Chains A and B, each alone.
Chain A
């Protein structure tokens, strides 16, 4: 097995005295697609932000492969209309990026030719794709996506994930994404990680979908998630998970 691009070891995060993440450990292999699912308030976004170093760790550590280039697509990017900025300028921040690179990334992300448009004039789908283009500009070895399809309709989201798979195939980067589009995402993932403050269960999509911890969180019929999976076992709760599996209020 190759050495992982990024490793989280017993990572805990506290925000205002409340423990958001408790001893989360995971490693991402090169070119692997890992999806993180979990209810609202389960710490999914916090986990991604901890990986890029945006939140202080209460304990544990994050190890990156030497010289690791990370592309990041944030959950929400509310651009203030008081700030005029073209797509081209947005992509050239904070470092100047050559025209060739921009053109290449824009076409890979599926939004060629939008360079001179204002960011605030873009449609939701275009905006997300420009964010993706930005994330892959410097040919990252690791792509982190935090609910990147928020605000997209289902065909839009499906097309977006297809783009991601293409990007992974062409650039060979590992992908870690947080998502709510369970069925689409799980089908596209190599590995699924079910998070609720800690890692409830993880493994191949079929395995996780069958795991009692996962079912306790998402039920058996949510959003047609399990339509992908033929055999449904009877619902049961295992006792090997010490905490409450209620849908977190956030």
Chain B
């Protein structure tokens, strides 16, 4: 009959940390953007959100069908990839601090754990990787609830695990394969088979439902149940990625461990402690410790590149797992001191040693050794376009950075628009400029294969920016000339 006492004071503190962290990360992101540092993922999500609000016509499908949907939701709400990502980073940081405060009673470990957020991999995760940030948050939250269920056997914890883990699919599709692995240790405890099956079923149902529901929605609205997976792969997986396969997964795992082992010292210490002591829900804890490694393997097996954001996932798992240990019965001598040293070592190493792509750029900027510029070709091309009015025809499946960097989607003729197919056949009737990626395969190069080599009927090659080719129409068609000119003038003036 007691009355509820929510929200707790700690909840308000977490909200405060979230707001502060979002502000700081947002400012940091803005600073980075001015320096020319912005990840492909942010541009992708930003362009999709831009088309919702300022497209011609507004691309309403992008309200709900941009993949992956959860990271995109933050960008959509804030209408800014920089601040949307900052909100995710802030959320992750606030949640991690809240969980660590509950789990850790060593202030040094807590302080060093928070300090890891200020390392290049930590900063990269918080400020440049909305998908990885949310995935880390989802994985950690799933583990928090699963471990609570393991300890308390309260159904509400299993219920919440199911709900939280289903968000993994909506954050990073391939990571849904990790969910059954997480649940396995819990279902291997000594219970009746029927109960274990029920737990397994309950834990997986939300994820299965999300998969089925999302595929169904894609089928209904986009005509293809796996459209979400293909669209996302096309937009976000960078060119030159290695081919998928189990061997690649193992290779990627090995290369990651070899290159980043010093950063993984806390993980090694806590992992060893867990294995030696085998206390409480240790199988769940062990799976939790192994999850980042599995994630790297999975990405490799699916042919995805090695990402730097995985390093903070190792740290977060270690700190959470360590919080579950009862130090009175430690096998390793003085594990707290070991952990403090390991955390300190990881912190120093992440600043001194070269990091994987992404985090390395941040390290370079902060250390100040080199000036980092990304998207140079795109920026140059946009600079040209900004001085010239007229409609631009391009396929934004891969060239989305240009749309976002230009900032005015109304002057672009994009595949979702009704006229796009007609424009593909006779670009000169519809656009003054055409942009082609000479190294890629898009709808334009499929219709006009020679466009990769500088030849597009009715256009001349105005400029080349890296692998991007900018074509400009030779002369307006005699018959439709005045109308075209008038239309282009009108389009150009319809700025949002």
Binding between chains A and B: no
B: residues with CB less than 8 A from A are: none
A: residues with CB less than 8 A from B are: none
